[in-house]
Structure 1
Amino acid sequence: MSFLSRVIRRGLQSGRLSCRSFPSQQQRGCGVTLTVRTVCSSSPINLTYDVFDGKGESTPLVFLHGLFGSKSNFHSIAKSLVQRTGRKVLTVDARNHGTSPHSTAMSYEAMAGDLKLLLTQLRIEKCVLIGHSMGGKTAMTTALTQPALVERLVVVDISPAQTTTRTNFRRYIQAMQEMKISSDIPRSTARRMAEDQLRNLVKERSVRQFLLTNLVEQNGHYAWRVNLEAISAHLENIMTFPQFDTVYEGPTLFLGGASSPYISSDDFPEIQRLFPCADIQYIPDASHWIHADKPLDFISSIISFLQS
């Protein structure tokens, strides 16, 4: 068996745009229109977030979701961590996701800037930053460019490497863009119609269900809340990772799914170069969505890392 079949703990030591805001803009999706707030700017934007208050005084935990995800992906995890650690936990919607504003810009530098603005607004001087997939790359970018903000770093099932060849996201976007749903029908019927249309290009039921968390209803019409146009335009950049000559020397955990290809041994040298104090662990029988597949193991790994 390869190292991906079991838990491994491995210590590795040593185009700018003008700023304009539009109150709302019609975004086309599913054959209908959805009113969203769009920001056409390279400046940081105000992210939406949820707070789960703990009674302890320890550094808060901040969760960043992956592509097509939202802050709700980590709600049950956040509640459990509040109970078990007493820490405050924030879950955050990235730009072009959830209920955060849409933007034509979508780079990791921009998303790290959004996070810095949010932490400043909330007067959080330091946090434990936990990011999954795309959120993991935003977390790494933040740690490498603003290390004073990050007390500890957890990168969930992603590495600072090219991931284009490992994904089917372009196909998912195509399926979502092509979908059309009738207006003024029950939400349950709309979801069934949407899943039927996604099935041709999105074979895995779990992935279809995940994508369908982005289907929203507004005045009887159904559309996607994610900004498919911006995601599609920047997908190649989202799948890569910026080049850095800096390092983050704080405690770091790379937590992979044993059934996922996103953190491989080929990635270890770059992880070691950028994060010299990183540990790498794998959770058995977990896919890319570790927190959904193995929530208890995921929580235990986070708590053990916090106590190390």
Structure 2
Amino acid sequence: MLSWARTWRLPYGGLKLSRTSFSRVLVAPSSSGRGGAEPRSVPLSYQLLDGEAGRPALVFLHGLLGCKTNFNSIAKALARQTGRRVLTVDARNHGDSPHIPDMSYEAMSQDLQDLLPQLGLVPCVLIGHSMGGRTAMLLALQRPELVERLVAVDISPVNTTSVSEFPAYVAAMRAIDIPDEVSRSCARKLADKQLSPIIQDLVVRQFLLTNLVEADGRFVWRVNLDALAQHIDKIMVFPPQQESYHGPTLFLLGGHSKFVHPSHHPEIRRLFPRAQMQTVPNAGHWIHSDCPQDFMAAIRGFLA
């Protein structure tokens, strides 16, 4: 299967962003889950803001149906405020990263295990939201030497199927029908109208519609909805783990979110003995979007 991967270097007001040209890559099916074989990694799309090489970089991992640009303004602000390098990454099957059938946390962890050393960013401060938070947790548990400290944003290592509406979001997106040769504004209106009976929250619909892109005169979803639908049950749960991560860890929770319940705390403490819990009172699940200043203040406080 041939896919396109993208990485880049661009200037931003005195900050240097890393960028290489488009590259065509051959992606083979992952062997994850077959006889215990190691998952095969894919080359992820990323954006790197330069900073001091002497301190651990900040690495941001987005959630399900998100992309690296979800953290654009926060990444730029934290790069200025902390002087550190800041990396934002598209997970496989999201953003500009390759599409591939496997969507396991083991595979997403392997993608980062290969990318971070290549960029000279280990050990790093790993900051993951939702699905990205679980990927970050698994990477810290599997390869603690790569993670100087860990931030899990509104997610836990406990099953969230009962509170998550993401399976319904994926199903609704797959059902969208947009005619060819329509304008971008028309395509967005049509998609929004078709999503609204299932997803009443306008803010959530606007977030999902950031994935609607034009390709060859048609509007399509840039996320691999087929792979996500096939593996959505796996994404809702955290792979069972026995080892613990003993580095500094922050669980940053939204005060209006139900994703992390007090009943999850014992498992959090078992896997992450040095875990701190901090709640952002006025935030929902997307803390970095709802309360960006509080989110950045929590990150800076954790780094101090």
Map residues 121-132 of structure 1 onto 2, 5 A cutoff: 121-132=118-129
Using the size of structure 2 for normalisation, the TM-score is 0.88
CA RMSD of aligned residues (A): 1.4
Residue 271 (1) aligns with residue 268 (2): yes
Q: Which residue number corresponds to residue 34 of structure 2?
A: none
Q: Could you say which residue in structure 1 is the equivalent of 2:101?
A: 104
Distance 1:51 1:256, change over 3 A: same
Task: Please say if 1:286 is aligned against 2:297.
Answer: no
Asked if structure 2 preserves the Cα contact closer than 8 Å seen for 1:39 and 1:102, the reply is no
* Partner residue in 1 for 2:206: 209
Report if aligned partners of 2:164, 2:259 keep a CA contact under 8 Å in 1. no
Partner of 1:225: 222
Q: Which SS does the other structure have where 2:162 is aligned?
A: helix
Would the alpha carbon gap of residues 38 and 200 (structure 1) be closer, same or farther in structure 2, given more than 3 Å must change?
farther
Distance in 1 between the 2:126 and 2:3 partners? 31
Q: From 237, 242, 263, give the equivalent of 1:240.
A: 237
What amino acid is aligned across from residue 183 of structure 1 in structure 2? D
Answer yes or no: is the 8 Å Cα contact 1:66–1:132 preserved in 2: yes
For residue 145 of structure 2, give the secondary structure of its aligned residue in structure 1.
helix
Alpha-carbon distance in structure 2 between the residues aligned to 1:178 and 1:257 = 30
Partner of 1:305: 302
For residue 171 of structure 1, what is the aligned residue in structure 2? 168
Q: What are the superposed Cα offsets for residues 270-308 of structure 1, whole Å, 9 maximum, x if unpaired?
A: 00000000100000110000000000000000000000x
- What residue is the counterpart of 2:29 in the other structure? 40
Change over 3 Å in CA distance of 1:197–1:290 after alignment to 2: same
Equivalence for 2:70: 73
The yes-or-no answer on 1:83 pairing with 2:80 is yes
Letter in 2 for 1:40: P
TM-score (norm 1): 0.87
**Residue of structure 1 aligned with 2:2, choices 23, 45, 50:** 23
Q: Is the partner of 2:112 in helix, strand or coil?
A: helix
- The CA distance in 2 between the partners of 1:161 and 1:302, in whole Å, is 23
Determine if contact 2:44/2:92 at 8 Å carries over to the other structure: yes
1:194 pairs with one of 174, 191, 197: 191
CA distance in 1, matches of 2:104, 2:261: 24
The structural deviation recorded for 1:183 is 1.7
In 1, the alpha carbon distance for the partners of 2:239 and 2:216 equals 40
Unmatched tracts of structure 2, length 5 or more: 5-24, 32-39
Q: Please say if residues 127 and 149 of structure 1, whose CA atoms lie closer than 8 Å, have aligned partners that are also in contact.
A: yes
The aligned length equals 276
Contact 1:39–1:101 under 8 Å retained in 2: no
Q: CA deviation at 1:57?
A: 2.7
Q: Give the structure 1 partner of residue 11 of structure 2.
A: none
Alignment CA distance shift 1:184-1:37 (3 Å): farther
Separation in 2, partners of 1:256, 1:301: 11
- 1:38 deviates by 5.8
Take 1:24 and 1:286, find their aligned partners in 2: how far apart are those partners? 37
Deviates more, 1:176-185 or 1:84-93: 176-185
* Greater relative contact order (CA < 8 Å, ≥ 6 in sequence): 1
**Identity, % of aligned positions:** 53
> Where has structure 1 moved over 6 Å in runs of 4 or more?
none
- 2:293 alignment counterpart: 296
Deviation at 1:39, TM superposition (A): 4.3
Distance 2:120 2:289 in 1: 30
Paired letter, 2:101: T
8 Å Cα contact 2:27-2:42 kept in structure 1: no
Q: Tell me, what secondary structure is at the counterpart of 2:229? A: helix
